Amino acid sequence: MSFSVGVIGLGRMAQALLLPLIESEDVLPERIFAVVGSDSSVKSRLKHLPKGIQVVSRDDDKADQVWNSDVQLLAVKPHQLEAVEIKARSLQKKNGSTKPLLISLLAGTTLGRLMKVFPQHMCVRAVPNMPSIVRAGLTGLAFQEGLSDKQKNFVMQLFNPISESLELPEGQLDAFLALTSSGPAYIALIAEALADGAVAAGLPRDLSNYLSHRMLFGSALLLKEKGLHPAELKDLVASPGGTTIAALRHLEKVGLRSALIEAVAVAAERSRELSSY
């Protein structure tokens, strides 16, 4: 499925999405045209990308070519959307009934906003998470009304090499983001705290970090591969009168469960606030 891609903003997530497509030869490097913020960004991006990809700064005379591609990938920061809008309004292709796809990675930017900014496109809102960088991610997708099943499948295929992709009603994307996109930060905090505990108990720092990360990985894999409910794994580990149930008793006493529930709820609410701007 060879096609051309115009990329507005070429950060880590955009690169993570493009590289598997290049490796599978679905997209030739020569058919990727990206616009970044500055000349220094051009140089730093080209160091880590396959030869053939065209990267220019937004002030380059050739930057307008980004709108000539079959698909546009919008991956700037949300606060940069207004600047993109000003430029895009005069440059979007007017193709009559055939509208190119625009896939937005912008957190909190609704389909309604995207459709207003990019009326000459069919818009998709994508919410990938950071593990997508190592091709172990999750991506929530919400589609503008009117996209065909063929177009939806095409978008799914773009994200499948780096993540499991789920089509969701847009109203569920805030909760999806709060769990899957913000979630790695919660897990990182837990991993760090567990390693700190092991250091306090007498283990060396490097070993504590390794064991914490490896334990989290193994536990997640066990839950997934055996189809266990989290409570089942907890009960498998916690024997009567043992060390684990004593630790769990302490965690319940200090409110860890409630704190994690509230963290997801607060993140979802913040996402809803951002989408209203």
Can you tell me whether residue 5 is helix, strand or coil?
Answer: strand
- Check if CATH label 1.10.3730.10 holds for domain 181-275: yes
Class of domain 5-173: alpha beta
DSSP per-residue string spanning 100-166: -EEEE--TT--HHHHHHH-TTSEEEEEEE-GGGGGT-EEEEEEE-TT--HHHHHHHHHHHTTTEEEE
Q: Are residues 194 and 205 in contact, defined by beta-carbon separation less than 8 angstroms?
A: no
Structure tokens at 251: 């965690």
pLDDT of res. 1: 55
pLDDT of res. 94: 53
Backbone φ and ψ for 164, nearest 5 degrees, come out as -85, 130
Q: Are residues 168 and 142 in contact, defined by beta-carbon separation less than 8 angstroms?
A: yes
Around Cβ 74, how many Cβ atoms within 10 Å?
Answer: 27
pLDDT of res. 37: 86
pLDDT of res. 26: 84
Q: Which residue has the tokens 């616009």?
A: 35
Question: Beta strands 122-128 and 137-143: pairing type?
Answer: antiparallel
pLDDT of res. 38: 87
Q: Which residue has the tokens 């593990």?
A: 131
Distance (Å, whole) CA 140 – CA 180? 9
pLDDT of res. 277: 61
Strand arrangement, sheet containing 163-167: 54-57, 32-36, 5-8, 71-74, 101-104, 122-128, 137-143, 163-167
Residues of the chain with pLDDT under 70: 1, 89-98, 276-277
Can you tell me whether residue 268 is helix, strand or coil?
Answer: helix
Distance (Å, whole) CA 166 – CA 37? 31
Within 8 A by CB and 6+ apart from 87, the residues are 58, 64
Residue-range domain boundaries for the chain = 5-173, 181-275
What pTM, to 2 d.p., does this model score?
0.90
**How many helices (H) and strands (E) in the chain?**
11, 8
- b/e burial code for range 174-213 (CB count within 10 A of at least 16 → b): bbbbbbbbbbeebeeeebeebbeebeeeebeeeebbeebe
Can you tell me whether residue 97 is helix, strand or coil?
Answer: coil
Q: Fold match between 5-173 and 181-275?
A: no
pLDDT of res. 93: 55
Distance (Å, whole) CA 142 – CA 207? 42
The predicted-structure confidence for 151-186, as pLDDT tens digits, reads as follows: 999 999 999 999 999 999 999 999 999 999 999 999
